[in-house]
Amino acid sequence: MITQQTIDKVFDVARVEEVIGEFVQLKKAGSNFKGLSPFTDEKTPSFVVSPVKQIWKDFSTGKGGNSVSFLMEHEHYTYPEAIKWLAKKYNIEIEETEQSDEQKQQLNERESMFLVSKFAKDYFHELLMNSQTGRAIGLSYFKERGFREDIIEKFDLGYCKDEWDNFTNAALAKGYDLKYLKETGLTIVKEGGAQDKKFDRFKGRVMFPIHSMSGRILGFGGRILTNDKKAAKYLNSPESDIYHKSKILYGLYHAKKEIAKLDNCFLVEGYTDVISFHQSGVENVVASSGTALTPDQIRLINRLTKNITVLFDGDAAGIRASIRGIDLILEQGLNVRVVSFPEGEDPDSFAKSHSSAELKQYLEEKAQDFIEFKVSMLMEDAQNDPVKKAGLIRDIVTSISKIPDGIQREVYVQECARIMDISEQVLFSELAQLLQRSGAGGSSKGSLSRPTRSGASDEAASPKGKGMEVLRARGKGKQVHNIDQVSILEKEIIRILLLYGNEIVEFVNWVDSHDKYGKPILEKEEYQNTVFNELYLNLQEDEIEFSNEIFRLTYHALVNQLNQREKIVIDELIMHENTEVSGLVTNILMDEERYILSNWEKKEVHITGIEKLLPKLVTDAILNLRRVLIDKKIKGVMEDIRNEVMEVDLEEINNYNALRTLLSEKLNRVV
């Protein structure tokens, strides 16, 4: 584990404009830099980098953060990988926490296996490109397959000589340990006799290196070039500490940027499918390398996009065998579309026989929803057979039952009912039984019908004094949510805290009182407080918890700073270990830089200073949140009454309305 001291050094030295400048062309814009978004195709710059704040924001996608989060977004590194990349760039020695001898040994062995694998990749590629034998046999094969040299270079393709131990001897001569050649599967060692015999596993094959998401070599696929019926056409590295076939997707390293950018991943079967697509300009493609799709592989894609388009060969038998993977993708919560190629074609051959424009057009026009695809595939056999048709419908409903999201399930049931000309009620009944048997989605009724409100036993309450006691009394055991307004107001509170939390401001409070006739009135009270304390005390008094998880985590981080330092330290929040928290903080801080993109200063558009508006800004944020929460409670009570969950309680309704009116008066609103 990387020490905190090393992480601090990285953040101290790394310059966000230098790091991003390696990937994005930046131009000076006042005190900041701007450029085209690396995440979308755009002609007008919406990407801003602030050297002063050491953060960035992409206004076209809403993404933002620091130098580490940029590498995680753009290069799809993990947090440790991003720290190591920066440490290498700035020549910082990586210090790691003390490990046991066993952990150190395991780490050293894994690293040795990576080093051996990298050497093998370089050796095979050098043979292919620069040796007479490699060019005559290996390179000519790839050229016959229609691959250009730039694509061959891009994928580090190689060739292993058709000799028993050519590679093994070369590796040993370079000082690599036979132990790691054996453990990576590059060398087969047969023990026995006076001396162990050593063989190159991939002898006589063209080589397809398999990269990790960060670009390290994990293993290889090798294709034989002879017609030897006894030898496997394709041979993969055996399972090892660094190579787990079920957890790897071929081409992901080269595809990750385009997958994230286009928000879609094409899934094919083989190495050459991937390479041919890249050569045709379609780069958001990965391959399962001939294995049945696994949950681990789907989760890799899920890090980049929620959308998968499965590409099937024109072979009907292959489609039927592969169609099972669709249910697995649905089960993981991803959206699935399907494209099948004409009979006798596969993604590789189709890409080679069509132009780039034709390929892209075909993929776009032929993509089908998985239900339409299943129906088109299986309906021909079932059309005149009621039993087979019922089986097909049951098969589709089984696929729908795999979807974890209840709303999506309902939409797909409606779509299936329309296509198959069957009542929704029958399909919902079948789906409910499947869900009940599998234990997914809770009870069938709860999963398929609109949720009913609970809380008939909640005690009625009446407001007393200032604040939200009435909400607390009724709100126990019943969470308050308002997806739109509440989230907006919660974010506004976080924004005020980040930008102005340390400011000392003259506040005005309107206190409940009565005139000489006993009529309720509001009296003005003035006092001084920091913005942070004012918001914190009001939220504490009302016992309000943020409904949005990221806002809640950010607020708790701010409160922790208040308790420990009695002030907000923005730099610590930008470097927060939770990238979603640091991303939110960065987005809010960078929003005030938006005017740079429009050159407002040159247009003589001046932005009013916020200092004079702070007291009202803070007070409005608090009162508005209270008002929205009360509105939510009133709506909930009325719905309970309509649904006969509770009896009409006029006193409770009047109490809520009175409290709402009081808040509206404080906000100078007329209700």
Query: Strand 285-287 relative to strand 307-312: parallel, antiparallel, unpaired?
Result: unpaired
Q: Which of 266, 270, 127, 145 is nearest to 202 (CA)?
A: 127
Q: Please list, in sequence order, all residues whose beta carbon lies within 8 angstroms of the beta carbon of residue 100, skipping any fewer than 6 positions away.
A: none
Residue 237, classed as helix, strand or coil, is coil
Segments in the chain below pLDDT 70: 98-107, 193-194, 290, 314-322, 380-381, 439-484, 510-511, 542, 592-612, 636-638, 640-671
Question: Which residues make beta-bridge pairs with 28?
Answer: 33
Q: Which of 444, 431, 439, 429 is nearest to 399 (CA)?
A: 431
Tell me the angle at which helices 549-565 and 579-591 cross, rounded to the nearest 10 degrees: 90
Q: Which two tokens stand for residue 18?
A: 């230098």
Q: What is the DSSP letter of 38?
A: S
Residue 296's Cβ-side half-sphere holds a number of Cα atoms within 13 Å equal to 9
The top-level CATH class assigned to 4-89 is alpha beta
Q: Are strands 335-340 and 307-312 parallel, antiparallel or unpaired?
A: parallel
pLDDT at 39: 87
d(CA 287, CA 208) in angstroms, rounded, equals 12
Write down the pLDDT at residue 148: 96
The domain ranges of the chain are: 4-89, 99-243, 372-448, 469-666
The span from the CA of 268 to the CA of 247, in Å, is: 16
At 632-666, the pLDDT tens digits run 777 766 676 666 655 555 566 666 566 566 555 55
Task: Give the strand order in the sheet containing 205-211.
Answer: 158-160, 205-211, 217-224, 234-236
DSSP state of 47: E
Predicted confidence at residue 87, as pLDDT, reads 93
Alpha-carbon span 415 to 374, nearest angstrom: 13
b/e per residue 552-590 (b: at least 16 CB within 10 A): ebbbebbeebbeeeeebebeebbbbeebebbbbbbbbbb
Give residue for tokens 């250009």.
148
Instruction: Look at residue 453 in the predicted model and tell me its pLDDT.
Output: 32
Beta strands in 295-370 (DSSP E): 307-312, 335-340, 368-369
pTM of the model: 0.65
**Residue 383: HSE in the Cβ half-sphere, 13 Å Cα cutoff:** 6
In this prediction, residue 454 carries a pLDDT of 34
- Using the 8-state DSSP alphabet, how is residue 241 labeled? S
* Domains 4-89 and 99-243 in one fold: no
Query: Please, are residues 568 and 501 in contact by the beta-carbon 8 Å criterion?
Result: yes
Task: Give the chain's end-to-end CA distance (angstroms, integer).
Answer: 58
For 296, the token pair is 């681990």
Rg for the chain (alpha carbons), in Å? 31
CA 211 to centroid of chain Cα atoms? 20
From the options 2.30.30.30, 3.30.1490.20, 3.30.450.40, 3.90.980.10, give the CATH code of 99-243.
3.90.980.10
Residue 250 has what DSSP assignment? B
Is 90:17 a contact under the CB 8 Å cutoff? no
* DSSP states of 141-161: HHHHTT--HHHHHHTT-EEE-
**pLDDT for 126:** 97
Distance CA 25, CA 596 (A): 17
Mean residue pLDDT across the chain: 81
pLDDT tens digits, 297-350: 998 898 788 899 999 886 655 566 567 788 899 988 899 999 989 888 999 999
